[in-house]
Each structure stands twice: as structure tokens, then as C-alpha cells.
Structure 1
Amino acid sequence: MSVTVPQVWVEAGGGHDMVRADAIVMLRLDETGRLTAQLRDDAKVSVTLLKGSSGTHPPEDFHRQLIRAVAELADSSGAQLVRARHKGGAWRWVSEPL
């Protein structure tokens, strides 16, 4: 019996790249608001998911919010895309079907 696991993708670096969530092994949110993900591979490649800025920084637990969003979407049907959005002075993760 085959089980189909839905894929969850995370937007990286402003929308031109996407990373499969199950390839991420570590997240780091630094003091500038830059969120990077280390990928599961031998080269220990890191990808910027959210660029830091001098403007409004995401909340200190924004990387944890991403983990929660991915976990919730893992139970959904079909492939999903998760992206960071800043609107009305607040940061949040939004998702959409691919």
C-alpha cells in the first residue's frame, strides 16, 4: 500500500525560489530579521527565506511559527506554498495551494 505525503514548499528570498520544507534541518532568525534555513545535504547549504531589514523585524518566534505552519499543512491534501507576509505592521505566514 502506497501512502502519498503532501509536499509543503517555503518561499525563499523574495519569491523567485522555493525550498521543500522537508529538506530544512535548521532555521535561524538573527537580530536583523534575516531568516535562514540550512538544508539537508552534505554541503550544508543555507538558503535565505526572509531578508533582514532596518524596517519592522518579524517577531522573535517567527521561525517557530513557520514550523507550526508547515506541521499543520502536512495534514492537508495536495502541495502547498508557505510565504512570509508583512501587512498592517504585522508579520505572518500565509499558505496557498500549488
Structure 2
Amino acid sequence: MSEIELVPRRTIGGIIAVWVLAAMAGVSIGVLVPVEWRAAWLTVTLGGCLILAFAVQLWYGRSQGFTERVAASVLGALLVLGVLSMGFALAAVVTG
């Protein structure tokens, strides 16, 4: 039997945590990975962010809005990694 939550936990923190992890992983990929392998590693990172988003939202234990929260987490991670990859591409054009 489930109990009614009088004051539910905020879920925006879990969404933003996935975005921050995506940014940190993307920057570390840009610094540590050779240019020809960056796209592949950014794709792997996005897959990891998807798994992390599921784990974080399951940890909250709230079924209401689960799909929307996971989608927001993954879409934000996609945008973060996309902006970072554009920055890497521009840096490669300017220096190369």
C-alpha cells in the first residue's frame, strides 16, 4: 500500500544533475580524447546519460511524470553535448 506524500520531493535536481554530468563528461572528452574519436565518445556519453536519467528518476520513486522527467533529462543532456561538440568543431576549424 502506498502512502500519500504531503510534500513531494523536488525532481528538478535530478534533471539538472544529469545535465551537469553531461557537461563534465563532454568537457573531459574534449580535453582527453583525440579529435577523430570525439563524436563516438560523445555518443557513448549520451547513452550513459540516458541510463543515468532512468536511474535517478527511479531513485526518486515517483511515478507521476516519470516519462517527462526522463525526457527532460535526456533532451537537456543532448543539448549540452551538442553545444559542446559544436564548440569542439569550431575549435578544430580555427586551429586546424
> Higher RCO, 1 or 2 (CA under 8 Å, sep at least 6)?
2
Verify same fold: TM over 0.5.
no
- Normalising by structure 1, report the TM-score: 0.29
Choose between structure 1 and 2: higher helix proportion: 2
- For the pair shown, which has the larger CA radius of gyration, 1 or 2? 2
